[in-house]
Amino acid sequence: MNIILNAIQKIDIFGVPIFLLTNNNNPLHQSKLGGIVTLSLGSISLIYFFYVIILWMSYSIAPNISSKQQTLGYSEFQLQDSTIQISLQDFTGDIDPFQKENNIITPLLFTYKDKTIYEKPISLFSSQEQPYLIKLNNASLILNTLEYKDEKYHEQIQYFIVLARCSEAFAINGSYCADENTINTYLSKYHGFLFLNIKLSQLNYITQEFEYFNKLYYTSFDVNMPQYSQILLKQQETIIDSGIVFNNFEHFSFLNNYEFINQVIDNSFSQKIINSMSNFTYNFDSYGCYLIRIDNISIKEEITHPKLGQILAQIGSIVQLIFLLKHLLLYYNTKLLENEILNDIITMYYPEFKEFKLDIFNQFNISIYKNNNQFKSSNLQEKYLILQARAKEKCKLNNILYEISRIQFILQQQFGDMVLIQSHQMGAKIDLNQIALVSIKESNRLCVKPVESIDLEPQSQYIDPLELLIKQS
């Protein structure tokens, strides 16, 4: 376990510089707690980095979205299959009035180009698989309200759906009208509602795929009070910038809404409008009509996914917040180093304090005794605190210089100035035969002895002058 903790201690990135001369060869003072916190914070930061990157790559980070309303003068839109449907919800009968055979009401599709109808209508009969249903398939709408003419722009195209009383004038291959008695009987009854169902879209900016939904409008179906309905299709243009570093724009255009406006008309309204806007002459009664066009008002939406630089900046900001804990670790390591140095100074003068162990904060604790014997002095803790305060003063540079100056004056008083001057020439001679020898250190060097008992006889073992007064650990 100690091996693991010592290895963790070496990766402590919150080590504080050692400004004082100590026995430690490491230029930084590191701690096991600092190493554990370094591992923890580094792991959390790395996990958070990968977490954010994965979210970013899957477009799960909320993009910047701006939306504005704009006015269009020209626009084109292609209606897909079954985008617009009109269905009859009949509560009183089981006859499909829109069927091809025995037809009662013929749904007619007229095409406006600019303000003129050039072509004959198209009959939109229901089918046996989908009775009571009128569908507008694969139609192209064009909005052109520009005040000037330009060849690159097409004429405006709108569609006009008329629910007309069946007439042989609108018959096509295989279609025929019901007899007059059947038609009159059907029209004399109440038949419920007409449902307008338009398929709209919204863009999923994560998958960049369309999601479809239907929007319904209900109108009454009364042959005596037909309604003119105007359907204004509203477009949305979405621009997505999904670039990693540089811009990468993708454009999407779709129907996101429509406006429905209706008013009551008479049975001859549609006939008059069509005859006045075309070269054809029709004579029929209508029981409702729908004008379909593109609205001039559209929505423009810009979606910008975060760039790599923004993500890295976000990660860096969070990691900086996480690493605010470094100030606590720096303070802890600083106090740890200070207490260790002060304890070394105290044990230089009072070696008996070596019998006590320091706690995890390198604080002196009288209850931690190596020989498991309680120290008898009751005020030892207080004594150590006093010594610690004095040691803090003693290790200051000005105090060290002061002590050296006192020693200098004592030597001057005892030996005179010439001895100190000649000391500049003193030094040991290099003995090449002794360089390879390893000095044998005494095992009891720090025992407390009277100075008179120290053996001053020449040692048989060579001792290097640089090693002579090195503090022993």
3-state SS of 407-460? HHHHHHHHHCHHHHHHHHHCCCCCCCCCCCCCCCCCCCCCCCCCHHHCCCCCCC
In terms of DSSP H, where are the helices of 193-325? Answer: 269-276, 308-322
Q: What does pTM read for this prediction?
A: 0.63
**What is the predicted pLDDT for the residue at 429?**
76
Examine the pLDDT at 444 and tell me if it is beyond 50: no
Cα–Cα nearest to 346, from 309, 395, 306:
395
Examine the pLDDT at 186 and tell me if it is beyond 70: yes
* Residues with Cβ within 8 Å of residue 5, at least 6 apart in sequence: 32, 35
Averaged pLDDT, 215-224: 91
Examine the pLDDT at 395 and tell me if it is beyond 50: yes
Examine the pLDDT at 304 and tell me if it is beyond 60: yes
Examine the pLDDT at 438 and tell me if it is beyond 80: no
Examine the pLDDT at 382 and tell me if it is beyond 90: no
- Share of residues in the chain with pLDDT > 70 (%): 81
**What is the predicted pLDDT for the residue at 225?**
92
Examine the pLDDT at 372 and tell me if it is beyond 70: no
Averaged pLDDT, 418-440: 70
**What is the predicted pLDDT for the residue at 21?**
46
Averaged pLDDT, 26-54: 76
Per-residue pLDDT band at 439 (split at 50, 70, 90): very low
Averaged pLDDT, 247-269: 92
Q: Which of 287-296, 307-316, 322-331, 438-447 has the highest mean pLDDT?
A: 287-296
Per-residue pLDDT band at 268 (split at 50, 70, 90): very high
**What is the predicted pLDDT for the residue at 47?**
86
Averaged pLDDT, 439-459: 48
- Share of residues in the chain with pLDDT > 90 (%): 37
Task: Pick the more confident residue, 278 or 82.
Answer: 278
Residue-wise pLDDT tens digits, 95-120: 899 999 999 999 999 999 988 999 99
Cα-based distances in Å from 122 to 142, 166, 260, 366, 466: 19, 13, 23, 105, 112
